[in-house]
Chain A
């Protein structure tokens, strides 16, 4: 919770449909400052749609998303883009690194997008490489490194601009269990070190176990054992 007791990021009564198919049917969710929250659920449950709504990538059909007291769902596009660049970081399963850029430039990329000069951005990126064990692959292209290294690059890139929330959607989905553990250890440790919250979408219990708290989405709604009883 932030100082005044309000969550840093919250969705209330979220509805979202694609055509006639409802993906979210009234989801309530809240993430405290510095909290790691896992959103679990089978494929097709709506958990990725929920992440996209919270991150301002999708606009919900109903309900509201607030970040730090601001209504994300009501922001105009340019404001939401700025929010995503400056306050949010993203780690996806794959396809997020620029294949033509070496590792160090991939990490620096969000800073340059945010208007920082190339030299300063690369210097900032260089600080992240030892923290994620990436010094040796700094000059390689994404296609020349392992899946686990690639996800560590993605973690560095998500954190480099000092975001307050990291959105991670199946960040270990394509990795073996040893590499997945490494990525999760580093993701959680570095985010906690920076005081950032994480919204972690996963269908894997072992990955969700890194979170401080877990919620389950099923058929577009959050499942609560208390409600079921």
Chain B
């Protein structure tokens, strides 16, 4: 979903070939996860089917990277709508951690030790990210900051949960 809007946004900036799109995407968003060409062309085909982009020229030769794409009026409108819509927070990792804590308590495993081990894992990742940020560009640094704040939020939950294990254990046995 995000990838298709990212490509739409890049086409909103300028008309581009598929190859250019991949390069621009990787440069701006893809430090950790560059796009695969197949994904670029699949996404472009979908956007074209939806009428959000159109092919404005095909150069001589074969292959999908010969096509030049442009955003349509519908595409501009759809992009603006997507940008203005707030996203629902996605507490996915927290759900995994929560499930593990409950299962540990139910099965008599040491939930406290599990949480402490998880805490150490989070701290280690934060330390590595903080070190990586020292030499990162501002843009990559901002991405790292985003991850750091999210990991920090997990950690706060881990500490909070560790402080309430007794009452939680009593609660889930009901």
Contact = CB atoms under 8 A, between A and B. Distances in A.
B151 A205 contact: yes
User: In terms of DSSP, what is the predominant structure of the interface of chain B?
Assistant: helix
A205 B110 contact: no
Given A206-B152, A214-B123, A223-B116, A228 B110 contact: yes
B113 interface: yes
A206 B133 CA distance: 12
Contacts of B129: 209
A212 B122 CA distance: 14
A229 interface: yes
A144 interface: no
B33 interface: no
Given A42-B159, A225-B117, A209 B112 contact: no
Contacts, number: 44
Interface string A29-65: 0000000000000100000000000000000000000
B116 A228 contact: yes
B127 interface: yes
B148 interface: yes
Nearest to B120: A225
B55 to A, nearest CB: 44
Nearest to A204: B152
B24 to A, nearest CB: 28
Contact of A205 (B122, B134, B163): B122
A223 B116 CA distance: 9
Contacts of A94: none
- Please provide the 3 A-B residue pairs with the shortest distance between their CB atoms, ordered closest to farther: A209-B126, A228-B113, A209-B130
